[in-house]
Structure 1
Amino acid sequence: MTISARERVAVFLLGFSAFLPLYAPQSVLPRMAAALGTSVAATGTVIGATTLAVAVAAPLAGPLTDRFGRKRAMLAALAALGPLTLALVLCQTLDQVLVARFAQGMALPALLTGAVAFITGRWTGPASAAIMGVFVGGSAMGGFAGRFVAGLFGELFGWQAGFAALAVLSLACLPVIQHWLPADTPQPDSRFSAHLGATWRHAKDFRIRSAALFGATVLFAMTGTLSYVGFHLAQPPFNLGPAEIGLVFLVYPLGAAMAPMNGRLLRRLALRPAIAAAIAICLTGLGLLLIPMVPAVMAGICVFIIGIFLCQSLALGYVGRTARFSPGAAAGLYVCCFYLGGSLGAVIPGLLWPLYGWHGCVVVIAATLCGGAMLSRLMSEAPNGTINPQRFKN
């Protein structure tokens, strides 16, 4: 099946819109902490509130989007995200920010899971892989744009101004997606009880459970690193402002673009060595982040993100291959644990900040990644723990 240029643009904007608000506050967290009079750890909950809401809503998003139509559900989620992002402009206290951010997180799973289900349901074979790559590319650009726009406007007009710009940008994507994304049909046979039962059965499978917990350590590391590196860069010897911190995240899409390497890794290595190699890349990036030079920090973020995206794609691919029934339920379980890990990563490193600063954050993040490496030892694709090479011949 051919993919039109309009369909590519619509899918790219889906990924872009989904990740535009998710981590946007990371570039202005130091400015928010100063304005709201909150501690480093308390300000980190601005990220954790959204990832927690995504984790709570993720298991329910699959059957909801199936029942009401994936395109309709995605458009509704996108329409809700604009006003919810704009609501941050009116927030005067941390509690108000957390309420708005939690509401954003409740809307996001319909967009995230709906997009993946829509793509896999409409396109097959090489076309599906190609259009999924477009979605991932849009996600990476949305992740960067959210941080950069929030940082730029936060530098010029105050931390709240960036969210007004993001709301406008998000709503501008809505009519393009509505008109250029192909229609789909609801699937009324999708039942909550069957979906939740399948999720429980997957949770009892130690391989999928291990992959989900491994995913939790990965997002813990990513959220912890990218949330608190801004505080690090706002201090001496860097003394960067929000716009400059936002520019540092320019390397984020470059790291995300390396995710397709996982196929080559699996052809050369078994699953466990491939994950070990990805975690080693993450740890190398963390080491670079300890060097007190902006180019080193930018290189460290790029290397770290390469490793993180490799870990994510390896784990998601493993869940998809391992789930013998209801792959959507297995993916929902993974996403739930993944974002729960992100919620913890948004807070726990900040608790160490008053005593140990950035170095303490790096140590706990590195320890979490090492714990994830140990969990990955429980992930095997065959009874003997090796990969069947026939899977990758085509």
Structure 2
Amino acid sequence: MSSAAQRQVKASPEADLHPAQPAANDGEKQFLVRGTPPYRRASLAFFMSGFSTFALLYCVQPLMPIFSADFGVSPAASSLSLSLSTGLLAVAIFLAAAVSERFGRRSLMFVSLLGASLCTIACAVVPDWNALLVIRALEGFLLGGVPAVAMAYLSEEIDPRGLGASMGLYIAGNAFGGMAGRVFTGMLAEYFSWRLALAGIGLMGIVAAIGFLVLLPPSRNFIPRKSTVRYHVDAWFGHLKNPALALLFAIGFLMMGAFVTIYNYAGFRLVAAPYNLNQTELGLIFTVYLFGIAASWAAGLLGDRFGHFLVMPVGALVALVGIAITLFSPLSLIIFGIVLLTSGFFMAHSVASALVGKLAHGTKGHASSLYLLGYYLGSSVAGSLGGHFWSADGWWAVAAFTGVMLLLSLLASLQARRITMRG
């Protein structure tokens, strides 16, 4: 056989994955390279999955007062429509990481998105409050199949030189979905009904799930593994023994904890005198997520060019400055401070997500699941603990609590950089 024929036989059916450039230091792996059509399709697919996941997850938040009135439950009980979903999502992340190691990334993410969308539509028609909570818990469990597996797919399939930009676009989709799920659902519920609002979000999720499946290239570097419980436990503990990764997991906990705490209790401050914002005006604050979308995308590009460990502490510092600015009284400065907090948070989160994939040696889904476990535990634990600081001494106490967490994030990011450079 001639050399030309040999080259033809060996050619990949998707040669534009990495044309005319070998995958240095990666054996026979074929990456999706920035600038190629498969890379663009994958990035768009993950933007859609991030948007859908967080729109489906947070769409009930503005509806809690309506749930309280319609179903005759207390405000605390109405919050279960969200807390049950996020709690089950954190648990499911571990299981999803294990399942995806055997059955693959792409199909699991599609089933998760489609199932969660159908659950949201079911919530729109269910007549009983307890049934709604059961469905929301199931929805959170299903959504756990997306975040950890998405990070694993990206870190396995995307060329490391373009990983930050792709991960940043995925995080941007998260931010956009989180904003849209809150803002649009609240507006639809005000002008039509909460049931129509949930049905609309559910149908959007189905469209996004189908688009995700059509756009995303099949995995090329994933090798299914038959595994035992011991295998998964060893994989998780193996990542925890990596000090740089352990610090990234802590950064996820601290950054998300500070971010959620500020958003949880800013509302209590702004509905009171002298601001007296109504619910519509308060809900519009979530549009500052647009700055998070831009920040996560920019951080990914800057991280790819200048180094992720240089960008991550900048994000923590920007968020810390934002919290300090919220201590001033003018409403414009409070909003500006929240903009900086949001931008800094998404910068750090985007870069930390990419670094987890880069630093994890094998079983990347397990590493991603540990990062996201810390991330959602930060939301749950710190977000609730911040209420005690609010009750004790108002906004000053909340700012001090979150400021300490962000300062610790900054120090952890610098330490992780030193460890990695020594290694």
Q: TM-score, normalized by length of structure 2?
A: 0.76
Deviation per CA, 1:147-190, whole angstroms, max 9, x where unpaired? 11122123334655533332122123233233333344884325
**Match in the other structure for 1:391:** none
Alignment of 1:45-64 (within 5 A): 46-64=81-99
> 1:369 is aligned with what amino acid?
L
Structure 1 alignment gaps of length 5 or more: 389-394
Is 2:218 the partner of 1:180?
no
Q: 1:77: how far off?
A: 0.6
- Once residues 66 and 265 of structure 2 are traced to their aligned partners in structure 1, the CA distance between those partners, rounded to angstroms, is 13
> 1:64 is aligned with what amino acid?
V
Secondary structure, counterpart of 1:344 in structure 2 = helix
Is 2:37 the partner of 1:3?
yes
Secondary structure, counterpart of 1:191 in structure 2 = coil
Q: 1:283 aligns with which of 308, 311, 320?
A: 320
Secondary structure, counterpart of 1:110 in structure 2 = coil
Per mean C-alpha deviation after superposition, the further-off stretch among 140-149 and 226-235 is: 226-235
> 2:37 is aligned with what amino acid?
I
Secondary structure, counterpart of 2:316 in structure 1 = helix
**Match in the other structure for 1:256:** 293
**Match in the other structure for 1:200:** 237
Is 2:188 the partner of 1:150?
no
Deviation per CA, 1:261-310, whole angstroms, max 9, x where unpaired? 37757988995x86554333212222333445553343222210111123
CA contact (8 A) 1:211 1:315 kept: yes
Is 2:373 the partner of 1:336?
yes
**Match in the other structure for 1:367:** 404
**Closer, same or farther: CA 154–175 of 1 in aligned 2, 3 Å:** same
CA contact (8 A) 1:211 1:379 kept: yes
Return the structure number with greater relative CO, CA threshold 8 A, min gap 6. Answer: 1
Q: 1:118 aligns with which of 153, 161, 170?
A: 153
> 1:363 is aligned with what amino acid?
A
Deviation per CA, 1:350-373, whole angstroms, max 9, x where unpaired? 344455455543333223333444
Q: TM-score, normalized by length of structure 1?
A: 0.80
Secondary structure, counterpart of 2:217 in structure 1 = coil
> 1:60 is aligned with what amino acid?
L
> Alignment length, in residue pairs?
383
Deviation per CA, 1:222-270, whole angstroms, max 9, x where unpaired? 2222233344444444444444333222221222322333775798899
**Match in the other structure for 2:108:** 73
Is 2:227 the partner of 1:191?
yes
> 1:261 is aligned with what amino acid?
A
Q: 1:326: how far off?
A: 3.2
Is 2:245 the partner of 1:245?
no
Q: 1:129: how far off?
A: 4.8
Per mean C-alpha deviation after superposition, the further-off stretch among 12-21 and 97-106 is: 97-106
- Once residues 22 and 3 of structure 1 are traced to their aligned partners in structure 2, the CA distance between those partners, rounded to angstroms, is 30
Q: 1:298 aligns with which of 335, 342, 364?
A: 335
Q: 1:81: how far off?
A: 0.8
CA contact (8 A) 1:15 1:139 kept: yes
